[in-house]
Amino acid sequence: MKTATTDQPAKELATMQAIVQDAYGEAEDVLRLEQIDRPAIGDSEVLLRVHAGGVDRGVWHLVTGLPYPVRLAGYGVRAPKTRVRGREVAGRVEAIGKDVTAFQVGDEVFGIAEGAFAEYACAQPGKLARRPETLTAIQAAAVSVSALTALQAVRDHGHLQAGQKVLVIGASGGVGTFAVQIAKAYGAEVTGVCSTTKMDLVESIGADHVIDYTRADIADGAHRYDVILDAGGNRPLRQLRGALTPRGSLVIVGGETGGRWLGGFDRSLRAPVLSRFVGPPSATCKQVRLAGRSSLISAADQVHWRCHRDAMGLGDAGRVWVLTRADL
Ligand SMILES: NC(=O)c1ccc[n+]([C@@H]2O[C@H](COP(=O)([O-])OP(=O)(O)OC[C@H]3O[C@@H](n4cnc5c(N)ncnc54)[C@H](OP(=O)(O)O)[C@@H]3O)[C@@H](O)[C@H]2O)c1
């Protein structure tokens, strides 16, 4: 990407390169690079020079518009309302609104911004933190959405305690890799579930046991868990409940195999209802997804610093990167 200099025409200074989309579809069909206007910031906002943007699973949902309820959640029914995707970000503060006191121009930061797949993006100061020198921009850009989700699942919804047994389904994914490490940091005995080729990865980030879901059943009757964090597949609630201890908790983070209409979301609706009827001594079902991704992101203000501190030292989630700048 080009860096704007004072020799360049004013129009080019006011514009930027961005990856845009005007229709829902697969990334290779609908995403393209375009020169567009730089975002304008409000009095309480920060303009970032983007160094790296992370691709979390939510990006795929918004690019494809799937499952369909995503479109009804305000992103645009027939076509995306906003053209630039990307939320996980690391970059340098380029400009600040007059009411911003938390950051100064030149600060290296990371966190959540709208439209991170561009040279510049607009962010709320409460969703940013200073980037520690120990993290590269590329590493930092992978933290925000996935690690916040993992932290909320482990701590706020799972209420995980030291010594408890936790099953992380989807342990090799964006959320699961953070969940395994945060659960270990909380002193739990962690069993990770993933496919054959990712078993080494899940073991390397600290899981005590690893189950290959292509070869073994998670509910074998022999093992029961105090907390199950479900971030992969679309297992029936009955099966998940069968793997819980009598007072265990199920936290449904998400799943990708539930079809174009519900995407597995129906389990999040049914789980709290089921929980009322099965009551103690059976399982309680909790879920994160009902709150929705946007709620999680707005909740970032409260858990922001804690999350970054907790997740930061825990390692790189092994994610896919886009828009890295060679000169920064
Ligand atoms: N509630 C929220 O606000 C929120 C926030 C972030 C994410 N999410 C949702 O949470 C889910 C996970 O997100 P992510 O970013 O971690 O996704 P991801 O990076 O795509 O990871 C998916 C994980 O699921 C595993 N998996 C796939 N099929 C499975 C099966 N049949 N049984 C067990 N595991 C299976 C994958 O394992 P292998 O790769 O080894 O096959 C991988 O570990 C997604 O549905 C996402 O939309 C929700």
With a cut of 70, list the residues of the chain below it in pLDDT. 1-13, 257-258, 263-265, 269-270, 272-328
The SS3 assignment for 305 reads helix
Q: Whose CA is nearest to atom 37 of ligand 1?
A: 194
Give distance in angstroms: CA of 318 to centre of ligand 1: 14
Q: What is the pLDDT of residue 220?
A: 79
pTM of the complete model: 0.81
d(C-alpha 1, C-alpha 219), whole Å: 50
Q: What is the pLDDT of residue 327?
A: 30
| Ligand 1 within 6 A of CB of 190 | no
| Ligand 1 within 6 A of CB of 62 | no
Q: Whose CA is nearest to atom 11 of ligand 1?
A: 254
Position 237: which residue type? Answer: L
The pLDDT mean for the chain works out to 81
Length of the chain, in residues:
328
The DSSP element (H or E) to which 175 belongs, if any, is helix 174-185
Q: Which domains does the chain have, with CATH numbers?
A: 2-141 (3.90.180.10), 144-327 (3.40.50.720)
d(C-alpha 267, C-alpha 169), whole Å: 15
Q: What is the pLDDT of residue 10?
A: 59
| Ligand 1 within 6 A of CB of 233 | yes
| Ligand 1 within 6 A of CB of 149 | yes
Q: What is the pLDDT of residue 2?
A: 41
Closest CA to 320 of 195, 191, 75, 146: 146
Q: What is the pLDDT of residue 97?
A: 97
Cis peptide preceding 281, ω within 30 of 0? yes
Give distance in angstroms: CA of 55 to centre of ligand 1: 13
Which ligand 1 atom lies nearest to the CA of residue 292? Answer: 3
| Ligand 1 within 6 A of CB of 46 | no
Q: At what angle do helices 174-185 and 144-151 cross, to 10 degrees?
A: 50
The DSSP element (H or E) to which 275 belongs, if any, is helix 265-278
| Ligand 1 within 6 A of CB of 193 | yes
What is the maximum alpha-carbon separation in the chain? 72
Mutate to test the pocket of ligand 1, among 55, 56, 57 (most ligand atoms within 8 A of CB): 57
Q: What is the pLDDT of residue 254?
A: 80
Closest CA to 328 of 108, 101, 88, 5: 108
Position 168: which residue type? Answer: V
Closest CA to 56 of 137, 116, 146, 170: 146
Task: Kindly write down the DSSP assignment for every residue of 25-69, as one continuous string.
Answer: S-HHHH-EEEEEEPPPP-TT-EEEEEEEEE--HHHHHHHHT-STH
Give distance in angstroms: CA of 269 to centre of ligand 1: 18
Mutate to test the pocket of ligand 1, among 145, 149, 196 (most ligand atoms within 8 A of CB): 149
Which ligand 1 atom lies nearest to the CA of residue 319? Answer: 19
Q: Whose CA is nearest to atom 12 of ligand 1?
A: 231
Give distance in angstroms: CA of 45 to centre of ligand 1: 32
d(C-alpha 159, C-alpha 183), whole Å: 10
